[in-house]
Amino acid sequence: MMDAPPSPSPVSPPGGGGGGEDCCVKVAVHVRPLIADEKAQGCKDCVTVVPGKPQVQIGTHSFTFDHVYGSTGSPSTAMFEECVAPLVDGLFQGYNATVLAYGQTGSGKTYTMGTGFKESYQAGIVPQVMSVLFGKIETLKHQTEFQLHVSFIEILKEEVRDLLDPSCLHKAESPNGHAGKVNVPGKPPIQIRESSNGVITLAGSTEVSVGSLKEMAAYLEQGSLSRATGSTNMNNQSSRSHAIFTITLEQMQKINSLSTGDGSQNDGMNDEYLCAKLHLVDLAGSERAKRTGSDGLRFKEGIHINKGLLALGNVISALGDEKKRKEGLHVPYRDSKLTRLLQDSLGGNSRTCMIACISPADINAEETLNTLKYANRARNIKNKPVVNRDPMSSEMLKMRQQLEYLQAELCARGGSSSDEVQVLKERIAWLEATNEDLCRELHVYRSRCAAVDPRDIDAQDASICSVKGEGLKRSLRSLEASDYQMVETVQSDTREIDDEVAKEWEHTLLQSTMDKELHELNRRLEEKESEMKLVGGFDTVALKQHFGKKIMEMEDEKRVVQQERDRLLAEIENLSAGSDGHAQKLQDVHSQKLKTLETQISDLKKKQESQVQLLKQKQKSDEAAKKLQEEIQSIKAQKVQLQHRMKQEAEQFRQWKASREKELLQLRKEGRRNEYERHKLQAINQRQKMVLQRKTEEAAVATKRLKELLEGRKSSPRENGSLSNGHVANGQVLSISFLPSRGNFFA
């Protein structure tokens, strides 16, 4: 087992893998059978489970959950494997988890969780969690170090009570009538705190380290026996509080060791620390006070219990309503201790499973319906579990990845970067060599100044000094020239940026031209289509038939009229053979009729002709429609081609842009590196300049001094002789005071 662990914090793994994904709260329903009491009361089963489906029906209501156990649903034995085992597996990957048992008094929460310490409760969730946990630890212990801690608290009347407090091991009868722990006087109350990284912790609660299954079971038993229970109408041994048994699993994994840049291995640096918590929550009964038959103290207790459950309901409502969640509505976690403690389990960093326990008895129908509604809303809650690494190991992981990346990059870049590095190294070496030369010169000059006898100093020395000064000035200029090279690099970068802007501009122009073309094609298409509607709006076949029929009718009519005319003509001929007045009269009438018929015939002919004309026109418009149709087809083909081209161009541009961005990223990185080198070189450069400046100044001062000395000696040779020692001494003192120590120079 490990030593004191670093405090963990929820850290999304680099690259986003394995964490931070939304996952809904899983909800399962556990329907217990009718118990002896209910049978004795003659209760009927009012809950139906649709076989083969996770669906529960009560009255007219029907609910679908993730799983339904008991009754005609899945067997209760499958509950652990399907709902809880994945959460236990997740613990080993660093994910927090919560299992909540919810339901009215006597619905089977304690039975389901298995915290009742009766034989029948052994199949419950907590005992199975413990045995699976230790089984897994046993198989993994050769590659991972584990540390397990447990804590057990209950929330009673909005007070957090420590069920594992070693200072009061014996169960005591509390003044308010229920069994429970006695608060030790002077012991500070347990407080719920939120750390800076959002982790909810319990300050002051006992957290014991456990090394075996037996030990853990003993703590669970000890805590369970200390739990506040009391009897109600509905359950003789009713849990009056919300109980939370928390298992903390810490693990130090040895992950694949990685070789460092110099080829050595750093095994010790590759440990990864993970820490995850599993909350096993047995909530107090959710029934309404009046049904429990509770009175007095129990009733007050009920109010407090329900305060937690009410707040829990409000939290579930706020989180379960997608609209409210999106609007970022306030979630009232702080309304009760229970919701505050379960903050991470509901909408936070945890994988959560809620088990809604229900009784099938018809007398509990109302409560059962409420439980199902409550649970149904919880299904909409989305959590965001992340791997809980300690910041140090996640930072190390990041650095390791960065190192790997840089090594890969170095390999990929091959010679070109090493050339650059070489150039920079050479420049640094050159600057350092120049620096050393200058220092050496300075040193020589200084010692010469100190040792020189002013009598030996003549104008020649002064000229040497001025020549040296010139040399130093030249050095200064050469250093400035190196600055110019850097400016040139920047200018070439600017040129590249210009190219990029031009390319983007070109792309935008091309896209907008193609957009215009597309727009134009769309306009033409619309035009042609509306023309087409005008031309081809009629039913051509029907129209043809109509005209054909009309012409035929006219043909018939014409024939009838012509026959009538022929008949009349024949009659007139017969009549003209006779000579009496009556015949004459008839002849006149017939002639009249004949005339009318002639006009009718010519009318019909005209109509027929116009109909033929119309038919011809129709044929023409049919041809026009066909042509239009062809045009429309060709415009559509052009449009498709253009869209295809646009897509291609956009894709090409996207690819180009992506590669540019990649390049840019690389360049930026290089730029940063170069910038750093530049700063370094500039600093050296600056220092060199200062040295040169000072040296030039010193040379000038020394020259001046020497000249003064020479002149002084020339003007009073006698005095000179007696004072020469003093002057020399003074000169030395002066020269020392003029020349700061080498240490000061480079400070």
Ligand X SMILES: Nc1ncnc2c1ncn2[C@@H]1O[C@H](COP(=O)(O)OP(=O)(O)OP(=O)(O)O)[C@@H](O)[C@H]1O
Which CB sits closer to ligand X, 105 or 393?
105
Which residue number, 210 or 354, has a Cβ lying nearer to ligand X? 354
CB of 116 to ligand X, least distance (A): 6
Neighbouring residues of 53: CB distance < 8 A, sequence distance ≥ 6: 64, 68
Closer residue to ligand X, CB minimum distance, 358 or 479? 358
* Cα–Cα distance measured from residue 572 to residue 155, given in angstroms and rounded to the nearest whole number: 128
Residue 89: what residue type? D
DSSP per residue, 418-454? HHHHHHHHHHHHHHHHHHHHHHHHHHHHHHHHHH--T
Query: Was 285 annotated as part of a binding site?
Result: no
Pairing of strands 351-358, 26-31: parallel
Query: Angle at which helices 391-413 and 415-451 pack, to 10 degrees?
Result: 100
User: Nearer to ligand X by C-beta: 306 or 703?
Assistant: 306
Q: How far is the CB of 33 from ligand X (least distance, A)?
A: 5
Asked if 43 and 52 count as a contact pair (C-beta separation under 8 A), the reply is no
Looking at the Cβ atoms of 112 and 151, the one nearer to ligand X is 112
Residue 240: CB atoms within 10 A of its CB come to: 28
Rounded to the nearest 10°, the torsion over CA 561, 564, 570, 576 is -100
- What is the token pair recorded at 95? 């994910």
Smallest distance from ligand X to CB 340, Å: 21
Residue 103 marked as a ligand binder: yes
The residue of the chain with the least Cβ separation from ligand X equals 108
Task: Give the angle subtended at the CA of 570 by the CAs of 568 and 574, to the nearest 5°.
Answer: 115
Please report how close the Cβ of residue 50 comes to ligand X at its closest, in angstroms: 19
The token duo for 537 is 């709006």
C-alpha 107/C-alpha 300 separation (Å) is 22
Q: Which is nearer to ligand X, 171 or 254 (CB)?
A: 171
Element (H, E) at 147: strand 144-156
Residue 107 marked in a binding site: yes
Label residues 195-207 b or e (16+ Cβ within 10 Å = b): eeeebbebeebbe
Task: Report the alpha-carbon distance of residue 447 to residue 742 in Å, rounded.
Answer: 12
The smaller minimum CB distance to ligand X, of residues 191 and 236, is found at 236
Question: Which amino acid belongs to residue 220?
Answer: L
Q: Which residue has the tokens 């009391």?
A: 230
Beta strands 351-358 and 97-102, pairing class: parallel
Residue number with CB closer to ligand X (294 or 383):
294
Nearer to ligand X, 176 or 434 (CB): 176
Nearer to ligand X, 8 or 103 (CB): 103
CB 33 within 8 A of CB 395: no
Residue 109 counted as an annotated binding residue: yes
For 261, the 3-state DSSP assignment is coil
Element of type H or E holding 160: strand 159-162
Cβ atoms 243, 152 nearer than 8 A: yes
| Min separation Cβ 154 and ligand X, Å | 12
- Tell the smallest beta-carbon distance from residue 68 to ligand X (Å): 13
Q: How far is the CB of 77 from ligand X (least distance, A)?
A: 11
Q: Where are the beta strands (DSSP E) in 676-718?
A: none
Measured from the CB atom, is 102 or 273 closer to ligand X?
A: 102
Q: How far is the CB of 292 from ligand X (least distance, A)?
A: 9
Q: Which is nearer to ligand X, 120 or 256 (CB)?
A: 120
**Min separation Cβ 229 and ligand X, Å:** 7
Task: Please state the closest distance from residue 333 (CB atom) to ligand X, in A.
Answer: 23
CB of 30 to ligand X, least distance (A): 7
Find the shortest distance in angstroms from Cβ 226 to ligand X: 15
CB of 236 to ligand X, least distance (A): 8
Shortest distance in whole angstroms from residue 362 CB to ligand X: 16
Contacts of 421-424 with CB under 8 Å at 24 or more apart are 424/674, 424/677
Cross-strand bridge partners of residue 706: none
**Residues in contact with 282: Cβ distance below 8 Å, sequence separation at least 6, in sequence order:** 101, 109, 110, 113, 115, 239, 242, 243, 245
Q: Residue 74 and residue 66: Cα distance in Å, rounded? A: 11
Nearer to ligand X, 70 or 308 (CB): 70
Place of tokens 């994910």: 95
| Full 3-state SS string of 622-672 | HHHHHHHHHHHHHHHHHHHHHHHHHHHHHHHHHHHHHHHHHHHHHHHHHHH
Radius of gyration of the chain (CA): 51
Do 360 and 31 form a contact (C-beta atoms < 8 A)?
Answer: yes
226 or 248: whose CB is closer to ligand X?
Answer: 226
SS3 state at 200: strand
How far apart are CB 206 and ligand X at their closest, in Å?
23
Number of C-beta neighbours around residue 116 at 10 A:
20
Residues that bind ligand X (CB under 6 A): 32-33, 35, 70, 76, 103, 105-111, 120, 235, 238-239, 285, 357
The residues that bridge with 147 in the sheet, in sequence order, are 250
What is the spatial distance between Cα 122 and Cα 128, in angstroms, rounded to a whole number? 8
Residue 76 DSSP class:
T
441 Cβ partners below 8 Å, 6+ apart? 468, 695
When the beta carbons of 70 and 320 are compared against ligand X, the nearer one is 70
- Give the rounded distance of the alpha carbon of 635 from its chain centre: 44
Binding residues for ATP: 103-110
> Annotated binding residues, as ranges?
103-110
